[in-house]
Amino acid sequence: MNTHAAMIGGAGLLLLAAAGGTSWYALPGRHAALEADPTEALPIPPVPPRIAQGPDYEQCLAMLATDPVGAASFADTWERQGGGDGATHCQALSNIALGNPAKGAGMLQELAGSSHDADAARATIYAQATQAWLMAGDATHALASAALALALSPDDVDLLIDHAVTAGNLERYHDAIDDLTHALDVDPRRIDALTARATAWRHLGKLDQAQNDIDHAIAIDPDNPEALLERGILRQRHNDRAGARTDWTRAIDLAPDSATADLAEQNIALLDAGPDRR
C-alpha cells in the first residue's frame, strides 16, 4: 500500500497521496491514519456533519457506507426533485466514496460557499472538502478549503489541525507549526497535534523541539501508536536502532491493521536491511 517509509528524512508521518506524491502527516480519527493511502480512509465520518434535515437526507447518508452507488442514484433523483443542500451533500459524498474525490471535493466546496446554514456546519463541509482534495492529491485546493473552514471557526482545534496537515503537505512547516501551536493553546493535551508538531519540527531539522513534543505526547498516552511511530523515527535519527525497533514493534502490536503499522513494518525492514538500503 505505501511507497514510502517514514524513517527516511524528508517525508515523515502519514498520508501518502494516491497519485504518487507523499504527504507529510494525516491524523487518526476524522483525519486519515498517519502516512496512509488516502484512498483507504474516506472523509466520510460515521455521523457526517448535517447541513440538512429530514428522512430523505438521513436515508441517503445511511447508504453511503454500504451502497454508495445506490446513494448516488438516490441523491441524483432527489436533487432533480428539489432536494437542495441535503441532496447535493449526499451526492458529493457518494462521489468520494465511489473514487471521484476531486469531483466530490469541488461539490463540497461549492456547497459550503453557497449554503445559508450556520458557520459551524459550513466549516465542517469545508473540512470534508479539504480531506477530499487531499485524497485527490491536490494539496493547493485542500489548503484553500482548510483556510475557508478556519475563517468560519478560527479556534476549532480539528480545523486548525486540518490546516496544519495541509500546509505540511505543501512543505510549509512553519505555517503548520503556527497552526498546531494555536491548537495546543486551546487544548494542550491533544496528542495528534503534539505528534504532528513533532513531525514538522523534525522536517525543519529541529530535533530537540521535536523530541520535546513527542515526549509530551507519550507522557499523556504511552500507548499512542502514531506517537510511538514518530518517536521511533527520532530515535533512529539519533542512531538508537534498538529504541526505534522497540517503538515501531509496539506501534504494530497496538494497531496491527493500520497504516501506522504498515509504516512501522517498513521502517523495521529498512532497519534490518542496513544503511545501504535506506
pLDDT in tens, 216-234: 999 999 999 999 999 999 9
Mean pLDDT of 196-212: 97
Q: Which of 157, 162, 169 is nearest to 128 (CA)?
A: 162
Which residues are registered as beta bridge partners of 22? Answer: 16
Mean pLDDT of 1-9: 25
Q: Which of 132, 129, 135 is nearest to 147 (CA)?
A: 129
Which residues are registered as beta bridge partners of 163? Answer: none
Please, is 58 exposed, middle or buried when counting C-beta atoms within 10 Å of its C-beta (0-12, 13-18, 19+)? middle
The structural domains of the chain, with segments of one domain joined by +, span 1-38+189-278
Q: Mean pLDDT of all residues in the chain?
A: 84
pLDDT-wise least confident of 1-15, 124-138, 210-224, 250-264: 1-15
What is the per-residue pLDDT for 45? 47
Element (DSSP H or E) covering residue 178: helix 173-186
Superfamily of domain 1-38+189-278 in CATH is Tetratricopeptide repeat domain (1.25.40.10)
What is the per-residue pLDDT for 48? 54
Confidence class for position 28, pLDDT limits 50, 70, 90 = very low
Confidence class for position 90, pLDDT limits 50, 70, 90 = very high
What is the per-residue pLDDT for 110? 97
Give the whole-angstrom CA distance, residue 237 versus residue 256: 24
What is the per-residue pLDDT for 52? 77
